[in-house]
Each structure stands twice: as structure tokens, then as C-alpha cells.
């Protein structure tokens, strides 16, 4: 049972060693930093759209979900743990749900964000 708990919650699958002597570690680290930055930009675009149109406060939640996903990528750039994987899965599922509602209800012609 403790092995299952370790596997599902506590295990660290990868950790960034700052020595910089492994190409995979460096690429994975910097890719996650770049990806986190993209999520922050998307969060900013969504909140800016909300400020311009003020269609729904749900867009604030949408922006926060993008921001939270960016934070998880910054965390992942240093260590990938089981709990972080579960958090990322939960976050992306919430993103899909909120995105679908916002786009269908307020921006029918939009397909980007």
C-alpha cells in the first residue's frame, strides 16, 4: 500500500541537476520555462480580453487557470513529482471545461483564445 501511495502521490520522477552536463535535463528544464511563459502570456491575453469586453467573470477564472498552469510548468522545470502531475491533469481538465463555456457563450466565431 505504501508503494502505491508513493507512486501516486510522493514519487519524484525527475529533478533538475544544475550541473548542466546532460542535454536532456537542460532541454527539459528550459522547455518547461518557455512553456510556463507561454501560459502566462495566454493568461494575460484572456484577462485583457475580459477588460475590453466584460462579458463574464468566468473569464477571470479562465485567466487564473492559465496562470496556474504556467506556475506548474515553472515547478516542473525543477522537479516532476506525482502530485504535480495530478495537479496539472486537474488544471488542464478545468481549462478545457471553462474554455468551452466561455468560447461557446461569448465568442462563437473565435477559435484561438
Q: What is the pLDDT of residue 31?
A: 98
Instruction: Tell whether 85 is covered by a domain.
Output: yes
Q: Which pLDDT value is given to residue 113?
A: 52
Q: Is residue 3 part of a domain?
A: no
Does 40 map to a domain?
yes
Query: What does the radius of gyration of the chain's CA atoms come to, in whole angstroms?
Result: 17
| Terminal C-alpha separation, the chain | 43
Task: Specify if 101 maps to a domain.
Answer: yes
pLDDT confidence of residue 28: 96
pLDDT in tens, the chain (113 residues): 788 787 788 899 999 998 878 999 999 999 999 999 999 999 999 999 999 988 889 999 999 999 999 999 999 999 999 999 999 999 999 999 999 898 888 888 776 65
Domain that holds residue 82: 22-106
Cβ partners under 8 Å of residue 13, min gap 6: 80, 81, 82, 85
What is the pLDDT, as a whole number, of residue 33? 98
In a domain, 7, yes or no: no
Q: Phi/psi at 21 (nearest 5 deg)?
A: -100, 10
Task: Decide if 70 is inside a domain.
Answer: yes
**What global pTM score does this model have?**
0.86
pLDDT score of 46:
94
- Kindly state whether residue 13 falls inside one of the protein's structural domains: no
Give the count of domains, the chain.
1
Question: Is 78 a member of any domain?
Answer: yes
Where residue 22 falls (left for φ over 0; alpha for ψ -120 to 50; beta otherwise) is beta
Amino acid at each position: 500500500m505504501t508503494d502505491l501511495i508513493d507512486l501516486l502521490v510522493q514519487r519524484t520522477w525527475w529533478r533538475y541537476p544544475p550541473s548542466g552536463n546532460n542535454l536532456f535535463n537542460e532541454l527539459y528544464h528550459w522547455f518547461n520555462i518557455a512553456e510556463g511563459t507561454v501560459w502566462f502570456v495566454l493568461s494575460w491575453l484572456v484577462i485583457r480580453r475580459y477588460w475590453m469586453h466584460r462579458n463574464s467573470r468566468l473569464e477571470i477564472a479562465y485567466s487564473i487557470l492559465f496562470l496556474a498552469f504556467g506556475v506548474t510548468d515553472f515547478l516542473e522545470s525543477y522537479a516532476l513529482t506525482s502530485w504535480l502531475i495530478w495537479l496539472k491533469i486537474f488544471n488542464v481538465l478545468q481549462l478545457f471545461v471553462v474554455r468551452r463555456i466561455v468560447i461557446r457563450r461569448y465568442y462563437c466565431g473565435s477559435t484561438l483564445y
